[in-house]
Amino acid sequence: MTIKDVKAYELLDSRGNPTVGVRLTTENGDFWALTPSGASAGSHEALELRDTGPRYGGKGVGTAVKNVNTLIAKRILGMDETQQAELDGALLELDGTKSKDALGANAVLPVSMAAAVAAAAAQRIPLYQHLGRLYGFSNGANAVLPVPMCNVINGGKHAGQDNDIQEHMIVPVGAKSYSEAIRMVAESYHELQAELKRRFGPQGILIGDEGGFAPQIPTVQERLDLVVKAYEEAGYRDEMRLAIDSASSEFFADGTYHIGAKSYSSGELVDFYDELTKAYPIVSLEDGMAEDDWDGWTELMAKIGSRVQIVGDDLLVTNPERIEMAVAKKAVNSVLIKLNQIGSLTETLQAVRLSHKSGFSTVISHRSGETEDRFIADLAVGVRAGQVKFGAPARTDRNAKYNRLLVIEDGLGSAAKYPGAGFRDLR
Ligand code: PGA
Ligand code: ZN
């Protein structure tokens, strides 16, 4: 159980931007991991190292690739891939900064992930089981499939818009199994497609970065009306609920929130969400407030946190220190988990553990720039998150993850559990 070789490649992500892919070799073969990339990234995230200069419009990752092939390779060749904490510890020490400013989180993370993939193979167990063990579960405790939150209307930066709510998701809480949930979602997605085509013609069914439709519909209420109509047409009025990711840091400027032509103070925006979540069956609201508007978050939690899941993404950036702040300020009751926000598997597992210990639910999430990598599907099952957010049930960068969960569910057989409406109560 020895890392014999590690090699990074400059590959392309789902938006056509360069990203780092790593091949890690042990006596058991070659193991891969690819890094995703955000568009509405939080300013407190670990550093995504991009080259400057004309190549790829300044978005090349040649330096991150070189860091893996030289500095990181030199440090980790000969190490044991099954000792994740030791390996990640060596990478963090080698980097030596708080935000992975020296090596780049996009250099450290794929090495960290590929080691876990190799470690699962070394033990001849599925990746989700290995990740469950690293998290702290003994064997067999991690047979919970997640409830998918599927982004069927893309807005904001993912659809070339400014001052706009980013994600309008459907949540199949009434399904009996994960596979039934995926079918409900796909059928609803196609009902929505048909309705958008009827109303807006071919322009209405163009899609955004996460595979959801990106129609020119100005208000969040009109968008949600169409989404509700679509899942009702599909026959799932009782089974389906809604979720929103505002990504509000993107429309926060000079202390004011701007949605379309309207402006809101922090308190006015909280009232807006209060009304919206009473008018629509919304079970989850992510990044309702901006990444440093802690008072706004606390107010939002106090007002609607008892009936809606309040998820911190850009606010918390999968960072245990910021999750501790959220505990102290009563700012959230749920944490979005993205590996590349913090930049190593060990730190990500710490963030999940701390969240669960604090009574927060967790949602394992993709980025808007994705790849064929499906590690996060196994992560969701391994840590028993109970919820994932992988975009629309369309485009292979999204469905690589949803499909991996279908295969995991099949492999678990009758042991597979789907939490349904209890998706927040697993811990
Ligand atoms: P990002 O968006 O990957 O572009 O940051 C996803 C999200 O905000 O959840
Ligand atoms: Zn988000």
Annotated catalytic residue, options 48, 167, 210, 250: 210
Rounded-to-integer distance, Cα 395 and Cα 403, Å: 11
pLDDT (0 to 100) of residue 340:
98
Q: Do 170 and 242 meet the contact criterion of CB atoms below 8 Å apart? A: yes
pLDDT category at 62 given cuts 50, 70, 90 is: very high
Separation of CA 367 and ligand 2 centre (Å): 9
Residue 56 confidence (pLDDT) above 70: yes
pTM greater than 0.95 = yes
Q: What residues contact 348, with CB distance under 8 A and at least 6 apart?
A: 318, 337, 339, 342, 379
Separation of CA 264 and ligand 2 centre (Å): 20
Neighbours of 254 (CB within 10 A): 5
Annotate 123-150 with DSSP letters as a single string.
HTS-HHHHHHHHHTPPTTS--BPPEE-E
Which helix or strand (DSSP H or E) is residue 65 part of? helix 62-67
Summarize pLDDT for 86-137 with one digit per residue, the tens. 999 999 999 999 999 999 999 999 999 999 999 999 999 999 999 999 999 9
* Neighbouring residues of the ion ligand 2, judged by CB less than 5 Å: 245, 286-287, 313
pLDDT (0 to 100) of residue 140:
58
pLDDT category at 141 given cuts 50, 70, 90 is: low
Mutate to test the pocket of ligand 1, among 15, 35, 37, 40 (most ligand atoms within 8 A of CB): 40
- Is the shortest distance between the CB of 367 and ligand 1 below 6 Å? yes
The region that residue 392 occupies, defined by phi over 0 for left and psi between -120 and 50 for alpha, beta otherwise, is beta
Residue 338: active-site member: yes
pLDDT (0 to 100) of residue 138:
85
Q: What Å distances lie between residue 18 and 48, 66, 70, 205, 342, CA to CA?
A: 11, 14, 19, 27, 19
Catalogue the E-assigned strands of 180-261: 240-245, 252-253, 256-259
pLDDT above 90 covers what percent of the chain? Answer: 98
- Is the shortest distance between the CB of 313 and ligand 1 below 6 Å? yes
Q: Do 244 and 149 meet the contact criterion of CB atoms below 8 Å apart? A: no
Which SS3 state, helix, strand or coil, does residue 5 take? Answer: strand
Ligand located closest to 389 CA? 1
Annotated catalytic residue, options 338, 347, 370, 389: 338
- Is the shortest distance between the CB of 366 and ligand 1 below 6 Å? no
pLDDT (0 to 100) of residue 191:
98
Residue 229: active-site member: no
Rounded-to-integer distance, Cα 287 and Cα 336, Å: 10
Give, as one character, the DSSP assignment of residue 40.
S
Q: What residues contact 346, with CB distance under 8 A and at least 6 apart?
A: 84, 85, 88, 89, 112, 134
Q: What Å distances lie between residue 176 and 146, 242, 329, 379, CA to CA?
A: 12, 18, 36, 22
Residue 182 confidence (pLDDT) above 90: yes
pLDDT category at 171 given cuts 50, 70, 90 is: very high
Kindly give the number of the ligand 1 atom that is closest to the alpha carbon of 157: 4
Give, as one character, the DSSP assignment of residue 368.
S
pLDDT (0 to 100) of residue 426:
81
Summarize pLDDT for 238-288 with one digit per residue, the tens. 999 999 999 999 999 999 999 999 999 999 999 999 999 999 999 999 999
pLDDT (0 to 100) of residue 60:
98
Kindly give the number of the ligand 1 atom that is closest to the alpha carbon of 158: 4
- Is the shortest distance between the CB of 337 and ligand 1 below 6 Å? no
pLDDT category at 427 given cuts 50, 70, 90 is: low
361-365/309-312 β-pairing: unpaired
pLDDT (0 to 100) of residue 208:
98
Both tokens assigned to 92: 């963090």
Rounded-to-integer distance, Cα 4 and Cα 9, Å: 17
Give the chain's mean pLDDT.
Answer: 97
Separation of CA 342 and ligand 2 centre (Å): 15
Q: What residues contact 306, with CB distance under 8 A and at least 6 apart?
A: none
Separation of CA 3 and ligand 2 centre (Å): 35
